[in-house]
Protein backbone atom coordinates (compact mmCIF):
# COMPACT_ATOMS: atom_id res chain seq x y z
CA UNK A 1 0.00 0.00 0.00
CA UNK A 2 1.44 3.37 -0.85
CA UNK A 3 -0.17 5.30 1.89
CA UNK A 4 1.15 7.64 4.54
CA UNK A 5 0.00 5.32 7.34
CA UNK A 6 1.47 2.21 5.69
CA UNK A 7 4.78 3.99 5.18
CA UNK A 8 4.96 5.09 8.81
CA UNK A 9 3.32 2.10 10.47
CA UNK A 10 6.31 1.21 12.66
CA UNK A 11 6.54 4.74 14.08
CA UNK A 12 2.78 4.85 14.54
CA UNK A 13 2.74 1.52 16.39
CA UNK A 14 5.52 2.81 18.61
CA UNK A 15 3.18 5.64 19.63
CA UNK A 16 0.92 3.02 21.26
CA UNK A 17 2.89 1.36 24.09
CA UNK A 18 0.23 -1.28 24.78
CA UNK A 19 0.75 -2.82 21.32
CA UNK A 20 4.08 -4.15 22.59
CA UNK A 21 2.38 -6.18 25.31
CA UNK A 22 2.12 -9.96 25.29
CA UNK A 23 -0.90 -12.03 26.30
CA UNK A 24 -0.45 -15.68 27.33
CA UNK A 25 3.13 -15.33 26.12
CA UNK A 26 2.08 -14.28 22.63
CA UNK A 27 2.28 -10.83 21.03
CA UNK A 28 -1.03 -9.03 21.42
CA UNK A 29 -3.08 -8.78 18.22
CA UNK A 30 -5.69 -6.20 19.16
CA UNK A 31 -8.70 -6.38 16.85
CA UNK A 32 -11.42 -5.07 19.16
CA UNK A 33 -11.16 -1.45 18.13
CA UNK A 34 -14.86 -0.94 17.57
CA UNK A 35 -15.25 -1.56 21.31
CA UNK A 36 -12.44 0.75 22.31
CA UNK A 37 -9.18 1.89 20.78
CA UNK A 38 -5.75 1.95 22.36
CA UNK A 39 -4.23 5.29 23.34
CA UNK A 40 -1.17 6.96 21.92
CA UNK A 41 1.48 8.08 24.38
CA UNK A 42 0.64 11.77 23.77
CA UNK A 43 -2.90 11.23 25.10
CA UNK A 44 -1.75 9.38 28.22
CA UNK A 45 0.93 12.00 28.82
CA UNK A 46 -1.62 14.76 28.37
CA UNK A 47 -3.77 13.27 31.11
CA UNK A 48 -0.78 13.08 33.44
CA UNK A 49 0.36 16.61 32.56
CA UNK A 50 -3.13 17.95 33.22
CA UNK A 51 -3.16 16.46 36.69
CA UNK A 52 0.41 17.47 37.42
CA UNK A 53 0.27 21.01 36.09
CA UNK A 54 -3.21 22.27 35.22
CA UNK A 55 -5.71 20.75 37.64
CA UNK A 56 -8.28 23.19 38.97
CA UNK A 57 -12.04 23.39 38.63
CA UNK A 58 -13.13 25.22 35.52
CA UNK A 59 -15.46 28.15 34.89
CA UNK A 60 -15.53 29.50 38.43
CA UNK A 61 -12.16 30.33 39.85
CA UNK A 62 -10.52 33.71 39.64
CA UNK A 63 -7.21 32.10 40.45
CA UNK A 64 -4.51 31.37 37.93
CA UNK A 65 -4.82 27.56 37.72
CA UNK A 66 -8.57 27.70 37.28
CA UNK A 67 -8.15 30.09 34.40
CA UNK A 68 -5.53 27.88 32.77
CA UNK A 69 -7.77 24.81 33.15
CA UNK A 70 -10.81 26.70 31.85
CA UNK A 71 -8.92 27.90 28.82
CA UNK A 72 -7.66 24.39 28.06
CA UNK A 73 -11.17 22.96 28.42
CA UNK A 74 -12.68 25.58 26.11
CA UNK A 75 -9.80 25.14 23.63
CA UNK A 76 -10.69 21.44 23.61
CA UNK A 77 -14.24 22.38 22.69
CA UNK A 78 -12.86 24.41 19.81
CA UNK A 79 -10.79 21.41 18.66
CA UNK A 80 -13.90 19.22 18.66
CA UNK A 81 -15.78 21.92 16.73
CA UNK A 82 -13.03 22.06 14.12
CA UNK A 83 -12.76 18.28 13.92
CA UNK A 84 -16.40 17.76 12.95
CA UNK A 85 -16.71 21.20 11.35
CA UNK A 86 -19.52 22.54 13.50
CA UNK A 87 -20.42 26.17 12.89
CA UNK A 88 -20.20 27.38 16.47
CA UNK A 89 -18.14 26.33 19.45
CA UNK A 90 -21.19 26.50 21.73
CA UNK A 91 -22.88 23.83 19.60
CA UNK A 92 -20.46 21.31 21.15
CA UNK A 93 -21.67 19.78 24.44
CA UNK A 94 -19.24 17.58 26.33
CA UNK A 95 -20.79 14.32 27.51
CA UNK A 96 -19.52 11.04 28.95
CA UNK A 97 -19.75 9.54 25.49
CA UNK A 98 -22.14 8.68 22.67
CA UNK A 99 -24.59 6.94 25.01
CA UNK A 100 -24.96 9.97 27.24
CA UNK A 101 -25.18 12.28 24.23
CA UNK A 102 -28.09 10.27 22.80
CA UNK A 103 -29.76 10.06 26.22
CA UNK A 104 -29.44 13.82 26.54
CA UNK A 105 -31.25 14.41 23.26
CA UNK A 106 -33.83 11.69 23.93
CA UNK A 107 -34.59 13.14 27.35
CA UNK A 108 -34.69 16.83 26.41
CA UNK A 109 -36.22 16.40 22.95
CA UNK A 110 -38.64 13.81 24.34
CA UNK A 111 -39.94 16.16 27.03
CA UNK A 112 -40.26 19.11 24.68
CA UNK A 113 -41.42 17.57 21.43
CA UNK A 114 -42.79 14.03 21.83
CA UNK A 115 -46.39 13.20 22.74
CA UNK A 116 -47.66 9.66 23.48
CA UNK A 117 -48.10 7.83 20.15
CA UNK A 118 -45.45 9.90 18.37
CA UNK A 119 -42.85 7.98 16.45
CA UNK A 120 -39.05 7.88 16.38
CA UNK A 121 -37.44 6.14 13.41
CA UNK A 122 -34.15 4.30 13.93
CA UNK A 123 -32.42 1.71 11.76
CA UNK A 124 -32.64 -2.02 12.37
CA UNK A 125 -28.83 -2.07 12.75
CA UNK A 126 -28.60 0.43 15.64
CA UNK A 127 -26.56 -0.16 18.76
CA UNK A 128 -28.86 -0.55 21.78
CA UNK A 129 -27.78 2.91 22.90
CA UNK A 130 -29.56 4.37 19.89
CA UNK A 131 -32.74 2.35 20.50
CA UNK A 132 -33.38 2.19 24.23
CA UNK A 133 -33.08 5.94 25.05
CA UNK A 134 -35.88 6.59 22.54
CA UNK A 135 -37.99 3.77 24.00
CA UNK A 136 -37.66 5.47 27.39
CA UNK A 137 -39.57 8.52 26.15
CA UNK A 138 -43.04 8.02 27.66
CA UNK A 139 -45.47 6.87 25.00
CA UNK A 140 -42.96 7.04 22.14
CA UNK A 141 -43.15 4.38 19.43
CA UNK A 142 -39.72 3.39 18.07
CA UNK A 143 -39.85 1.95 14.55
CA UNK A 144 -36.98 0.44 12.56
CA UNK A 145 -35.86 1.16 9.00
CA UNK A 146 -34.92 -2.35 7.80
CA UNK A 147 -31.72 -3.49 6.11
CA UNK A 148 -31.10 -5.94 3.27
CA UNK A 149 -29.37 -9.31 3.64
CA UNK A 150 -25.98 -7.82 2.78
CA UNK A 151 -26.39 -5.24 5.55
CA UNK A 152 -27.26 -2.29 3.33
CA UNK A 153 -29.91 -0.01 4.79
CA UNK A 154 -33.13 0.07 2.75
CA UNK A 155 -33.18 3.86 2.57
CA UNK A 156 -35.85 3.73 -0.11
CA UNK A 157 -38.28 2.60 2.62
CA UNK A 158 -37.70 5.70 4.72
CA UNK A 159 -40.16 7.82 2.76
CA UNK A 160 -43.05 5.40 3.41
CA UNK A 161 -42.11 4.87 7.08
CA UNK A 162 -42.43 8.59 7.79
CA UNK A 163 -45.88 9.52 9.09
CA UNK A 164 -47.33 12.76 10.50
CA UNK A 165 -46.41 11.31 13.90
CA UNK A 166 -42.69 10.93 13.11
CA UNK A 167 -40.78 13.34 15.34
CA UNK A 168 -37.15 12.36 14.82
CA UNK A 169 -34.89 9.99 12.88
CA UNK A 170 -31.87 8.53 14.71
CA UNK A 171 -29.29 6.66 12.70
CA UNK A 172 -25.76 5.32 13.00
CA UNK A 173 -23.38 6.62 10.36
CA UNK A 174 -21.49 3.31 10.60
CA UNK A 175 -22.93 0.08 12.06
CA UNK A 176 -20.81 -1.34 14.90
CA UNK A 177 -21.82 -4.89 13.96
CA UNK A 178 -22.11 -4.94 10.17
CA UNK A 179 -19.70 -2.14 9.33
CA UNK A 180 -22.24 -0.68 6.91
CA UNK A 181 -21.71 2.99 6.14
CA UNK A 182 -25.20 4.46 6.01
CA UNK A 183 -26.05 7.27 3.57
CA UNK A 184 -26.82 9.71 6.36
CA UNK A 185 -26.73 12.74 4.04
CA UNK A 186 -29.57 11.19 2.00
CA UNK A 187 -31.47 10.22 5.14
CA UNK A 188 -31.14 13.77 6.47
CA UNK A 189 -32.37 15.22 3.16
CA UNK A 190 -35.44 12.99 3.14
CA UNK A 191 -36.21 13.65 6.81
CA UNK A 192 -35.73 17.39 6.42
CA UNK A 193 -38.10 17.46 3.44
CA UNK A 194 -40.73 16.41 6.02
CA UNK A 195 -39.47 18.88 8.62
CA UNK A 196 -38.06 16.06 10.79
CA UNK A 197 -34.70 16.45 12.59
CA UNK A 198 -32.02 13.74 12.49
CA UNK A 199 -29.60 12.53 15.14
CA UNK A 200 -26.50 10.81 13.78
CA UNK A 201 -24.67 8.29 15.98
CA UNK A 202 -21.08 8.87 14.96
CA UNK A 203 -19.43 6.52 17.48
CA UNK A 204 -18.14 4.21 14.74
CA UNK A 205 -17.71 6.79 11.97
CA UNK A 206 -15.62 9.56 13.51
CA UNK A 207 -12.51 7.34 13.93
CA UNK A 208 -12.66 6.15 10.32
CA UNK A 209 -14.13 8.83 8.07
CA UNK A 210 -14.03 12.59 7.68
CA UNK A 211 -17.14 14.03 9.31
CA UNK A 212 -18.54 17.45 8.45
CA UNK A 213 -21.74 18.04 10.39
CA UNK A 214 -22.56 21.17 8.37
CA UNK A 215 -22.15 19.41 5.03
CA UNK A 216 -24.31 16.54 6.35
CA UNK A 217 -26.77 19.10 7.73
CA UNK A 218 -27.14 16.88 10.82
CA UNK A 219 -29.27 18.29 13.61
CA UNK A 220 -27.51 16.26 16.28
CA UNK A 221 -24.29 14.27 16.08
CA UNK A 222 -22.82 12.15 18.89
CA UNK A 223 -19.45 10.47 19.33
CA UNK A 224 -17.17 8.97 22.00
CA UNK A 225 -13.58 9.88 22.77
CA UNK A 226 -12.42 6.37 23.62
CA UNK A 227 -13.23 5.01 20.18
CA UNK A 228 -10.96 7.62 18.57
CA UNK A 229 -7.80 7.07 20.64
CA UNK A 230 -8.99 9.40 23.42
CA UNK A 231 -9.79 8.62 27.05
CA UNK A 232 -12.88 6.81 28.31
CA UNK A 233 -15.64 8.83 29.91
CA UNK A 234 -15.56 11.78 27.53
CA UNK A 235 -17.46 12.35 24.33
CA UNK A 236 -19.40 15.05 22.61
CA UNK A 237 -22.80 15.97 21.33
CA UNK A 238 -23.12 18.41 18.49
CA UNK A 239 -26.48 20.10 18.22
CA UNK A 240 -27.55 22.84 15.88
CA UNK A 241 -27.88 26.04 17.87
CA UNK A 242 -31.53 26.43 16.90
CA UNK A 243 -32.31 22.99 18.34
CA UNK A 244 -30.22 23.32 21.49
CA UNK A 245 -31.88 26.67 22.22
CA UNK A 246 -35.33 25.08 21.95
CA UNK A 247 -34.66 22.10 24.21
CA UNK A 248 -34.91 22.10 28.02
CA UNK A 249 -31.84 21.17 30.11
CA UNK A 250 -30.94 17.50 30.59
CA UNK A 251 -29.54 17.48 34.12
CA UNK A 252 -29.65 20.16 36.77
CA UNK A 253 -26.77 21.34 38.91
CA UNK A 254 -23.91 23.74 39.06
CA UNK A 255 -22.52 25.38 35.94
CA UNK A 256 -25.79 25.10 33.98
CA UNK A 257 -27.66 27.94 35.68
CA UNK A 258 -27.95 31.65 35.20
CA UNK A 259 -29.75 32.48 38.46
CA UNK A 260 -31.29 30.09 41.00
CA UNK A 261 -34.23 31.08 43.15
CA UNK A 262 -37.14 29.19 44.69
CA UNK A 263 -39.45 31.36 42.66
CA UNK A 264 -37.85 30.05 39.51
CA UNK A 265 -34.44 29.32 38.02
CA UNK A 266 -33.04 30.60 34.76
CA UNK A 267 -30.47 28.66 32.81
CA UNK A 268 -27.03 29.44 31.50
CA UNK A 269 -26.40 30.05 27.81
CA UNK A 270 -25.15 27.33 25.47
CA UNK A 271 -23.25 25.10 25.83
CA UNK A 272 -23.36 25.28 29.64
CA UNK A 273 -27.13 24.79 29.81
CA UNK A 274 -26.46 21.12 28.99
CA UNK A 275 -23.36 20.66 31.15
CA UNK A 276 -24.47 20.35 34.77
CA UNK A 277 -21.77 19.80 37.36
CA UNK A 278 -18.01 19.83 37.07
CA UNK A 279 -17.16 18.72 33.54
CA UNK A 280 -14.42 16.20 32.73
CA UNK A 281 -11.91 18.90 31.86
CA UNK A 282 -9.02 16.44 32.05
CA UNK A 283 -10.82 14.16 29.61
CA UNK A 284 -11.82 16.96 27.26
CA UNK A 285 -8.27 18.19 26.82
CA UNK A 286 -6.96 14.64 26.39
CA UNK A 287 -9.68 14.04 23.79
CA UNK A 288 -8.51 17.16 21.97
CA UNK A 289 -4.98 15.73 22.04
CA UNK A 290 -6.29 12.50 20.44
CA UNK A 291 -8.13 14.46 17.75
CA UNK A 292 -4.97 16.43 16.96
CA UNK A 293 -3.08 13.13 16.70
CA UNK A 294 -5.65 11.87 14.18
CA UNK A 295 -5.56 15.18 12.28
CA UNK A 296 -1.79 15.00 12.10
CA UNK A 297 -1.94 11.54 10.49
CA UNK A 298 -4.83 12.67 8.30
CA UNK A 299 -8.35 11.24 8.51
CA UNK A 300 -8.32 10.51 4.76
CA UNK A 301 -5.02 8.63 5.09
CA UNK A 302 -6.45 6.60 7.95
CA UNK A 303 -9.63 5.85 6.00
CA UNK A 304 -7.66 4.68 2.95
CA UNK A 305 -5.33 2.51 5.02
CA UNK A 306 -8.17 0.92 7.01
CA UNK A 307 -10.07 0.27 3.80
CA UNK A 308 -7.09 -1.73 2.54
CA UNK A 309 -7.05 -3.67 5.83
CA UNK A 310 -10.76 -4.39 5.55
CA UNK A 311 -10.47 -5.59 1.96
CA UNK A 312 -7.52 -7.79 2.83
CA UNK A 313 -9.20 -9.22 5.94
CA UNK A 314 -12.38 -9.98 4.01
CA UNK A 315 -10.45 -11.78 1.25
CA UNK A 316 -8.33 -13.76 3.68
CA UNK A 317 -11.16 -14.73 6.04
CA UNK A 318 -13.11 -16.05 3.07
CA UNK A 319 -10.39 -18.69 2.58
CA UNK A 320 -11.57 -20.31 5.84
CA UNK A 321 -13.89 -23.27 5.18
CA UNK A 322 -17.47 -22.60 6.29
CA UNK A 323 -16.86 -18.96 7.23
CA UNK A 324 -19.83 -16.62 6.80
CA UNK A 325 -19.47 -12.84 6.93
CA UNK A 326 -22.41 -10.82 8.24
CA UNK A 327 -22.54 -7.43 6.55
CA UNK A 328 -21.12 -7.15 3.06
CA UNK A 329 -22.49 -3.82 2.02
CA UNK A 330 -20.60 -2.09 -0.79
CA UNK A 331 -20.14 0.85 1.56
CA UNK A 332 -18.36 -0.58 4.55
CA UNK A 333 -16.01 0.51 7.32
CA UNK A 334 -13.41 -1.48 9.23
CA UNK A 335 -15.52 -4.16 10.91
CA UNK A 336 -15.86 -7.84 9.97
CA UNK A 337 -18.51 -9.90 11.77
CA UNK A 338 -18.35 -13.61 11.09
CA UNK A 339 -19.15 -17.15 12.14
CA UNK A 340 -17.43 -20.40 11.16
CA UNK A 341 -19.65 -23.42 10.55
CA UNK A 342 -21.58 -24.23 13.71
CA UNK A 343 -18.88 -23.06 16.08
CA UNK A 344 -20.37 -20.91 18.82
CA UNK A 345 -18.86 -17.40 18.90
CA UNK A 346 -17.97 -17.84 22.59
CA UNK A 347 -15.91 -20.92 21.75
CA UNK A 348 -14.24 -19.25 18.80
CA UNK A 349 -13.48 -16.05 20.71
CA UNK A 350 -12.19 -17.88 23.78
CA UNK A 351 -9.61 -19.86 21.80
CA UNK A 352 -8.63 -16.86 19.64
CA UNK A 353 -7.92 -15.03 22.90
CA UNK A 354 -5.59 -17.82 24.00
CA UNK A 355 -3.78 -17.43 20.68
CA UNK A 356 -3.24 -13.75 21.47
CA UNK A 357 -5.96 -12.41 19.20
CA UNK A 358 -8.43 -10.04 20.89
CA UNK A 359 -11.82 -9.97 19.15
CA UNK A 360 -15.35 -9.33 20.31
CA UNK A 361 -17.93 -12.08 20.58
CA UNK A 362 -21.64 -11.93 21.25
CA UNK A 363 -24.45 -9.71 20.08
CA UNK A 364 -22.41 -6.47 20.10
CA UNK A 365 -25.28 -4.60 21.79
CA UNK A 366 -27.25 -4.96 18.57
CA UNK A 367 -29.68 -7.79 19.27
CA UNK A 368 -32.09 -6.75 16.48
CA UNK A 369 -29.25 -7.42 14.01
CA UNK A 370 -28.80 -10.91 15.49
CA UNK A 371 -32.57 -11.48 15.30
CA UNK A 372 -32.50 -10.40 11.64
CA UNK A 373 -30.06 -13.21 10.82
CA UNK A 374 -31.53 -15.67 13.34
CA UNK A 375 -28.22 -16.03 15.19
CA UNK A 376 -27.16 -15.50 18.79
CA UNK A 377 -23.97 -13.67 18.11
CA UNK A 378 -20.93 -13.30 15.92
CA UNK A 379 -17.20 -12.91 16.24
CA UNK A 380 -16.21 -9.39 15.30
CA UNK A 381 -12.77 -8.23 14.23
CA UNK A 382 -12.48 -4.46 13.99
CA UNK A 383 -9.49 -2.50 12.78
CA UNK A 384 -7.74 0.72 13.70
CA UNK A 385 -4.99 2.78 12.15
CA UNK A 386 -2.24 0.80 13.92
CA UNK A 387 -3.29 -2.67 12.72
CA UNK A 388 -1.33 -4.46 10.02
CA UNK A 389 -1.83 -7.09 7.35
CA UNK A 390 0.49 -9.33 9.37
CA UNK A 391 -1.97 -9.14 12.28
CA UNK A 392 -4.80 -10.07 9.93
CA UNK A 393 -2.74 -13.06 8.81
CA UNK A 394 -2.41 -14.05 12.48
CA UNK A 395 -6.16 -13.74 12.90
CA UNK A 396 -6.85 -15.91 9.86
CA UNK A 397 -4.30 -18.55 10.88
CA UNK A 398 -5.81 -18.60 14.37
CA UNK A 399 -9.36 -18.92 13.03
CA UNK A 400 -8.26 -21.86 10.87
CA UNK A 401 -6.59 -23.47 13.87
CA UNK A 402 -9.76 -23.12 15.96
CA UNK A 403 -11.92 -24.43 13.13
CA UNK A 404 -9.84 -27.63 13.13
CA UNK A 405 -10.33 -28.03 16.89
CA UNK A 406 -14.10 -28.01 16.63
CA UNK A 407 -14.36 -30.30 13.61
Partner 1 sequence: MTIAEKEAEIVSEFEFLTDWLDKYELIIDKGNQNPGIDPQYKTDQYLIEGCQSKVWVQAEYRDGKVYYQGESNTEIVGGMVSMLIDVLSGETPDDILAAELGFIDQIGLKEHLSPTRSNGLVAMVKQMRLYAMVFKEKSNEL
Contacting residues toward partner 1, per CB under 8 A: 24, 343-347, 350-351, 354-355, 361-363, 376-377, 401, 405-406
Closest CA to 245 of 21, 95, 90: 90
Of the two residues 327 and 377, which places its CB atom closer to partner 1 in the complex?
377
Task: Determine which one of 218, 365, 370, 381 is catalytic.
Answer: 365
Nearer to partner 1, 29 or 218 (CB): 29
Q: Is 102 or 343 the residue whose CB approaches partner 1 more closely?
A: 343
Q: What is the 3-state secondary structure (H, E, C) of the chain?
A: CCCHHHHCHHHHHHCCHHHHCEECCEECEECECCCCCCCCHHHHHHHHHHHHHCCCCCCCCCCHHHHHHHHHHHHHHHHHHHHHCCCCHHHEEEECCHHHHHHHHHHHHHHHHCCCCCEEEEECCCCHHHCHHHHCCCCCEEEEECECCCCCECHHHHHHHCCCCEEEEEEECECCCCCEECCHHHHHHHHHHCCCCEEEECCCCCCCCCCCHHHHCCCEEEEECHHHCCCCCCEEEEECHHHHHHCCCCCCCCCCEEECCCCCCEECCCCHHHCCCCCCHHHHHHHHHHHHHHHHHCHHHHHHHHHHHHHHHHHHHCCCCCEEEECCCCCECCEEEEEECCCCHHHHHHHHHHCCEECEEECCCCHHHHHHHCCCCEEEEECCCCCCHHHHHHHHHHHHHHHHHCC
Residue 351: CB minimum distance to partner 1, A: 6
Radius of gyration of the chain (CA): 22
Cβ count near 271 (within 10 Å) = 23
Q: Is 171 a catalytic residue?
A: no
To the nearest whole angstrom, how small is the minimum distance from the Cβ of residue 177 to partner 1?
15
Q: Which residues touch 328 (CB under 8 Å, ≥6 apart)?
A: 150, 151, 314
Q: Whose Cβ is closer to partner 1: residue 235's or residue 345's?
A: 345
Minimum distance, C-beta of residue 324 to partner 1, in the bound complex (Å) = 18
Name which of 365 and 385 has its Cβ closer to partner 1: 365
Smallest gap from Cβ 402 to partner 1, in A, equals 9
Of the pair 136, 405, the CB lying nearest partner 1 is at 405
**Considering beta carbons, is residue 361 or 382 the nearer one to partner 1?**
361
CB of 372 to partner 1, least distance (A): 19
Least Cβ distance, residue 25 to partner 1 (angstroms): 9
- For residue 95, the cross-strand partners are 235
Catalytic residue numbers? 365
Amino acid sequence: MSNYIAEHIDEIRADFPILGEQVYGKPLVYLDNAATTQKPRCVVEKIAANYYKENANVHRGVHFLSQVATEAHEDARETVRRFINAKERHEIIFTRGTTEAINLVASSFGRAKVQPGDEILVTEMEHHSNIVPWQLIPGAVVKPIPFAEDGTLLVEQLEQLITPKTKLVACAQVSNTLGTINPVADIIKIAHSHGIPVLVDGAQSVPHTKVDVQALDADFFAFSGHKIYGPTGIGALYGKEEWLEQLPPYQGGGDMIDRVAFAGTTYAALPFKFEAGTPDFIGSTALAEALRYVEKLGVENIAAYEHELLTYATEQLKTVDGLRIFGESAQKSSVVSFLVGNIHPYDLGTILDKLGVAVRTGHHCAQPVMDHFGIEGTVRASFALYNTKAEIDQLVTAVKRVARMFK
